[in-house]
Each structure stands twice: as structure tokens, then as C-alpha cells.
Structure 1
């Protein structure tokens, strides 16, 4: 017992401090969770003024034939500042942009053009500074380099990051994001902007594992000590008449929040491996989509103006036109500036309609199986695995189909094109319940009752924080004595 006490006391001085940091930053992360990169309203602002197909003198087939060698996976016709451009993405190389009027290559764009694009994000605010970053700053760690950092003169020093290759806004930071980085991302995930850690993920993961293990030993040794005291003196006797009030508080809080502390620590191990929450993890990775997102076939591709002319004459204008190929069908996706969209076949020029047969074809190709199982369900709201959390909102509505692969993967598909927008494999479902459920407390019952969820999470975090703080104080006081 004396050895266990020594272990608990000395580990508590180190891992106890980390627990205080984790609980404190965890409370901040819960309340100020970083939302998706750009909100819908922010994305709408980046589209600029509506346009019509007649403004693009160069057509999709002409741009694609002149682009160069290599398969093309997606093309977008959109505004970048005041210019109408084609954004072309290859299968195995970075994207490039072309002028829709002349067909001239614009990538990489210059600083003046980057400022113009950024100005559309905040049209009423002056640009204060522009810098081309070759090395990421603290808020662009996950962005491709180089990137333009454009800072505005508003009270929050709003900053947007513009990709010189695709002439698009990749991210933005304000006071909220900077506070999240300082008080959430760094202390909770050790996401420090240090080249050594950024280029050596194994080192950072190893450090988190060690800290998690030490914190787990502190909690386990505390449980063992409490069990010994209860066995010898009874539940209330464990408080001890000779102990100070702070010792009694630490003992009581420890008994009340030990289990949840262990759950937080154990699930934290798995978050180190893949820390993305389910609303992010459910989205398929590009390599997973290769069986259905085929390179665009130019052989029978019709110009967009021939396909959409009749319908577009009566529209209030377009915000974007996207060309991509799903299986063997090239599809034009017309986004209307007034809201809504239309999907047309690029080979026949006819409207494209998703049916059950098409959905099963897509699922079979995605899973590499011969026959998907289960009925097609049309979801207008989120379910157990496909749901919103912390500002991250997967698209709705969707179709849901149960796959017949070894993992019984649940596949979520777009009702417009049949593209896979989400998948829940067996590993994902285990992660959702055992890891995310016990770390973020995002059980379906609680997600439907956000006030109750907030109350429970705050209670658990404050309880764990109380145990950590009192234990840390007692350890320091004992060391001084």
C-alpha cells in the first residue's frame, strides 16, 4: 500500500498536471468546437456575382482537350473575383485554373488576383496585408503550400488563405479560431506549429500515448487505494477522521468521477490514432472513391451550353457548374444562384435521374461486391452514424443502403448524382460507439437533447477537473512538507 501511495503521489505531480490541462482545454473544446472550414454563407460569398453559360467563350470540351496529358477527375466553371474561370483537377496532380474567355493558363495566380478573390469574402472591409507563405503558419498547417495569406483590417483581423494553384479560398481565421488554437488545439491535441512535431507524427503520437498511459496509471492507482481504504475502513470510513477537508473532497470526487475519467483516457488512446469525429471520418477518402469517380471521358462529351441553354435562359443565373463522371456517365451539375441545382448527362444532354438500380450499381462498385443488400432508404434527417456535431454538418438528404461486404458497410449516397457521400464500416461503427461515444458523449439520445448533453459533459469535466486539481495541490503540498 505504501508503494502504491508513493506511485500515485509522484505520478500525480506529472500526469496530474496533464489531466488538469486536458480537462480544462476539453471543456473549452466542447463549448468552442472549431466548425467546418467555411460556413455555407461564407462559401456563397466566395462564388461572386452570378453568371450565364454564354459568358464562357471557351467550352468544357475545349478546355479539357487543351489541358494536357493525364486523366481529369473534375472541372468547375465559376467566378474567381471578377473573372470567370475553369478550375481543373487531375487524378494524380494538383489543380490548375484557366480563363474561361481566352483559355489562358492562370496558375499560379499573382498577389493582385489573390487580393481580389479575398475581397469577395469581405467586400466592405479593406485588405491590410498579403503574404505568400512558403512555410505554413500556425493556422495553415494542413493547407498545401505555397498559399497566400490575406489579412483584413476589421476588429478581428480576419485572415483568409488563397490557393495560388486553384484561385480558391481554402480557410479563414478570426479571433475565435485563434483562441481555439491557443486554448484548445495546442493543450488538448499538442498541435503545436513546430516543424519537428509536424514532420514527425510518430513522435507526437508517442508523446500523447505516454501522457495518456501516465494519466491512466494515476487513475488506476487511485482506484486501488480507494478500494483498499473501503475494504479496510468502509465506504465512509475511507474519508478518515484525521484527514483534512481537501483530502476528503479529493477522495469523494475520485469515487464519483473515476469511471468517467478512465473512459476519457481509454478513448483518448484511440483518438490519437484517428482523432477526427464521426461527421468527418464518415466522409470517404479520395482513394476510396476511385472505383466510382472515374476520369472524365471526352469522347461523347457535349458542351454545357448545348445541354443547359433552354433551362438556363429562365434561371436567375449560375453560381457554379461542375463536371465530373460517376461510373460511366459524365454529369453536369448546374448550381443556380437563387438556390437549387440541376443535373444533366454530359453525353446525351438529358436530365439525370437517380433510381434504385443506379444506386445499387454505385454501391457495388464502391464496395467491390457483386450485389448490395437491403432496401434503399431515403433520409431527410441524420441517423445513428451519419450525423452533425460541433459545426460539422454532412449533406442532407441522402439515400442509405446496407452493403454485403465483410464489414457490412452502410453507404450514404447523394440523391442528385448517386455519389457516395458517407460510409460506415464495422470499424467506423465500433469507433462511433466505444471511442466517440465515451469521449465526446455524442450518443443519439443526447445529440437530440443538446442542453442535457452540455449539462452532462460539463458535470463530468468539472468533476474530473476537481479531482485533478485537488490531487495536484495535495501532491505539491506533500512535496513541500
Structure 2
């Protein structure tokens, strides 16, 4: 150690302790909350209407009533080729098939497939009737109409607001949210979900309605709070290493100079400090600070060239109307194109998928050669270097808290971004993509934050045991820090001629 460094070290050490102490007082509260709420989130996710729940609530499609073709529905809206179109039944006092249309800007529209009219806003009485048909509960009743509440804050619901909240009246305390613009049921919650989310997602994501309603403000609050906690964790790890003695121990034979809560904080922090830091840094990265992890997407024009959408009118009605009884009856129909060929994707109440050739009524058949012939249109000027029919999930294509299509074609391109594009072999549709940037984010956030390695999550409860163990260690380190910080705040100031770091040195 040079003489200059030796002279500067006491002052550096003083500021190291000072920074950790005062950032840690608030930071440990956040850490403790994040560890406890993170365990809750392992088992109870944020309320969301899953595809399975939505399809189970829809009535079987009545194709014989769907006289309006996809092209005619777009004409009724004076709309450009959409991002997505779905035919489904809209319940209520007068059930009818409707086209649900998502335009290129994300706007949501509804057109009657019976006569082509564009329905007006859905009032409370209509929303109540829709919810009764969806839930099968005659006692479902309207509670209020709102712009947003705690369970509808995500910006993805903005095109559907205002929302009608409907109390279903079942033992689970289910509430449904019906869009006043489209008549869609867009969210459901239960009493249990709402309770556990106050202990899980809401505090973990700092997801309080007034703050989350302002996305830029919410983003900045989370980024800066996480950044301060990173500094607290780093300084704590450094101090923990400086204060531990594994060989030349302290007078009582201990590896730490502290006792009581300070000893718990020191030892738990040393054992779990790396994971505490890993989790807080990965959580900070999940907010994509400075836009470091922007991903190149396939734009609408490129996608249209790939699918061949709009090259000819979509045949309507389809050549062969699909049938089925009970849960096997189609609940939704999605018109698709692949390489200029019209397809109809059908899903029943159990989310089972069938894809038929809309022109012939036969089950669609898409070969490897068909996909490889069309694929270069997705990345003009680049070539497919590898095409793999992936039969199982792997590190980059996995479900955990969401469904993934398998088998799936993985196409690797030689473009500058080193893109991987995933293609559904049944329909030829793009179902996912990543590039070198997003694959790096997969390591830095998903793997580091959720420990969702395939070899671990496929053998639960191994994943649960690891997450619980690390969370308990982190919670002990954080809770002891909260106690220490509280006692520090209550302590009366004492005058001393020595800086804090020097006093610590004298005591050891």
C-alpha cells in the first residue's frame, strides 16, 4: 500500500461506512420487502385473464351467422391490414359473432360478423349481460365503471378503457372487467388473488395505482430506488469482507467483531450478499435503463411479405365449416396467411389448436421446405444458417410462467443482430424472436433474477427449495439491517473527535 493510499484510506473507509449506513437504513426495508414479496410471486402471479380462462368463457362459434368476411369487416372500419383478427361470440342478451380487430397501432375494434355494423359503446347493463354469459352466473352484477384500478393499471389495457367492473357473486369473489369500447372481458380477479398480490406483485414492482398510471414516473422511481440499493449492497459486501477474519480471529474466536443483530447482518450478508446483489442488479436491468436492451422487431411490411397477407381476398365462409360438441366446439377462429395461402386457426374451450386450409377445408400441412422458402423475407439480405425443429424447451425458449409452443422451428440468421426467429410448424406464423442483445438480457435478467434455468425449473421442487433458501438468507440479512437501522435512528448523537471508521478500527 503506497503512502498516499495509506493516508487516504481512513477517509475512504469512513465514507464507505457512512454510505452503507444511511443508504442501508432505507435499502434494507426495500430488500426485506422484495424478498418476502418475491416468494409470494413464485406462486401467485399478477391477475390476468389467461387464454384458457377466456376461451372457456366464450360460447361456441356460430359460423352460420358469420356472414361478414374479414375483408368486409375491415371495410366497415375503413382500416388497413390489421395486426390481428379474431372471430368469437359476444355474449349478452343478443349473442352474435363478432370480429375483434387489433390495428397496426394497437387500437382495438369490434365489428358484427352478422351484419357488419360497428357496435357503439357498451353500457353497464350490456356489460352485466356479457359477464353473466361469460361466467355462467345469473347473479353477476355491475359494480362500477372506471378508468383504472389496482388490477387494471397495465398500459396494455389503455385501448379498452373505460372498464366495467362486474362482481360475479361466486364463493371465490370473482370480479370481471368488461371493456366499454369493445365488449370484451379483459381481466378477471379473485379474492385470493387480490389479497396475495398486496403481499406480492404490488409491493415488489412498486405497482401502486397513482404511480403506475404515470409510466415514465414509475420507471424512474424504480430505476433510482434500485440504483441506490445497488450502492448499498456493494458497500455492504466490501465492508463485510473487510471486517471478517477467517484465520486471525477476534479475541473470542469469532469471525466477526459484532454481536447480536449486527452479527446476524454481517454473516448473512457475507453468505447471501452475492445473490442479494445479483437480484437487485438484475431487477434494475429489467427496467431497461437507458434503453440498453432494445430488440429489433419484425415490422408490419416485412411480416406482410412473409405471410403474403392480402394478396387475394380471404375465402369466406371457409370451404368446410368445422364442427364439435361441448368443449371441443371452436371458441375462436383466426384468419391467417402463410406464403400467400389462407389458413384458419381454431381453438376450443381447452385451448386445443387446429389449423385448416381455408380454401379446401383440409388440415394445413406446412413443410420444412415451405418455411425455408419464405423465411428469408423476414430478414431481407440475410440467410438462414440453421433451421432446427425444437422438440422441447431450452434456455432461450421456455415457459415457466407462460405457455410455449413445442415443437417449434428455430431459424438462425446471419444478420448483424444474429436473429433467431421461432415459427409455429402448424401455421407457419412467427411466434417469437430474439437477437444477441435480448439473449444477453436473458442471462442478465431472467437467469439471474428468477434462476429459471431449464435443468432447475423442470425438476420442481428443486427450484422452489433453492429460491426459498436464498430468499431466507437475504431476508435475514435485510431484516437485521432494518433493526440495526431503526436502533441507529433512535440513538442519541454522541460527540467524538474520531471519524466513525477510525472508532471501528479502535474497537477491533
Relative to the length of structure 1, the TM-score reads 0.85
Which residue does 1:255 correspond to in 2? 270
* 1:171 aligned to which of 178, 181, 187: 187
C-alpha distance 223-86 of structure 1, shift in aligned 2 (>3 A): closer
- Equivalent residues of 1:239, 1:248 under 8 A apart: no
Q: State the superposition RMSD in angstroms.
A: 3.2
CA distance in 2, matches of 1:383, 1:2: 48
Which residue does 2:40 correspond to in 1? 28
Is residue 162 of structure 2 the alignment partner of residue 146 of structure 1? yes
Is residue 226 of structure 2 the alignment partner of residue 226 of structure 1? no
Q: Which secondary structure state, in structure 2, belongs to the residue aligned with residue 363 of structure 1? A: helix
* 2:287 aligned to which of 257, 272, 281: 272
CA distance in 2, matches of 1:215, 1:433: 21
CA distance in 2, matches of 1:427, 1:206: 22
- Equivalent residues of 2:424, 2:430 under 8 A apart: yes
Which residue does 1:465 correspond to in 2? 475
Is residue 229 of structure 2 the alignment partner of residue 215 of structure 1? yes
* 1:297 aligned to which of 310, 326, 338: 310
* 1:193 aligned to which of 206, 209, 218: 209
Which residue does 1:43 correspond to in 2? 54
**Which structure has the bigger radius of gyration?**
2
C-alpha distance 443-105 of structure 1, shift in aligned 2 (>3 A): same
C-alpha distance 266-95 of structure 1, shift in aligned 2 (>3 A): closer
Is residue 144 of structure 2 the alignment partner of residue 131 of structure 1? yes
- Following TM superposition, by how much is the alpha carbon of 1:413 offset from its aligned partner in structure 2, in angstroms? 0.9
Alignment of structure 1 residues 359-398 onto 2, 5 Å: 359-379=371-391, 381-390=392-401, 392-398=402-408
CA distance in 2, matches of 1:158, 1:341: 31
- Equivalent residues of 1:356, 1:376 under 8 A apart: no
Which residue does 1:98 correspond to in 2? 111
Q: Which secondary structure state, in structure 1, belongs to the residue aligned with residue 337 of structure 2? A: strand
CA distance in 2, matches of 1:367, 1:80: 38
Q: Which secondary structure state, in structure 2, belongs to the residue aligned with residue 27 of structure 1? A: helix
Unaligned runs of 5+ residues in structure 1 are: none
C-alpha distance 396-376 of structure 1, shift in aligned 2 (>3 A): closer
Matched length? 464
* 1:112 aligned to which of 125, 130, 144: 125
- Equivalent residues of 2:279, 2:448 under 8 A apart: yes
Unaligned runs of 5+ residues in structure 2 are: 1-12, 492-508
Alignment of structure 1 residues 276-287 onto 2, 5 Å: none
Relative to the length of structure 2, the TM-score reads 0.81
CA distance in 2, matches of 1:320, 1:39: 11
CA distance in 2, matches of 1:241, 1:295: 69
> Which aligned segments of 4 or more residues in structure 1 are displaced greater than 6 angstroms?
313-316
* 1:411 aligned to which of 416, 421, 433: 421
C-alpha distance 230-333 of structure 1, shift in aligned 2 (>3 A): closer
Q: Which secondary structure state, in structure 2, belongs to the residue aligned with residue 308 of structure 1? A: coil
- Equivalent residues of 1:50, 1:318 under 8 A apart: yes
- Equivalent residues of 2:244, 2:255 under 8 A apart: no
CA distance in 2, matches of 1:343, 1:438: 41
CA distance in 2, matches of 1:43, 1:197: 25
C-alpha distance 456-288 of structure 1, shift in aligned 2 (>3 A): farther
- Following TM superposition, by how much is the alpha carbon of 1:208 offset from its aligned partner in structure 2, in angstroms? 2.2
- Following TM superposition, by how much is the alpha carbon of 1:385 offset from its aligned partner in structure 2, in angstroms? 0.9
C-alpha distance 366-148 of structure 1, shift in aligned 2 (>3 A): farther
- Equivalent residues of 1:304, 1:332 under 8 A apart: no
- Equivalent residues of 2:87, 2:97 under 8 A apart: yes
Is residue 341 of structure 2 the alignment partner of residue 325 of structure 1? no
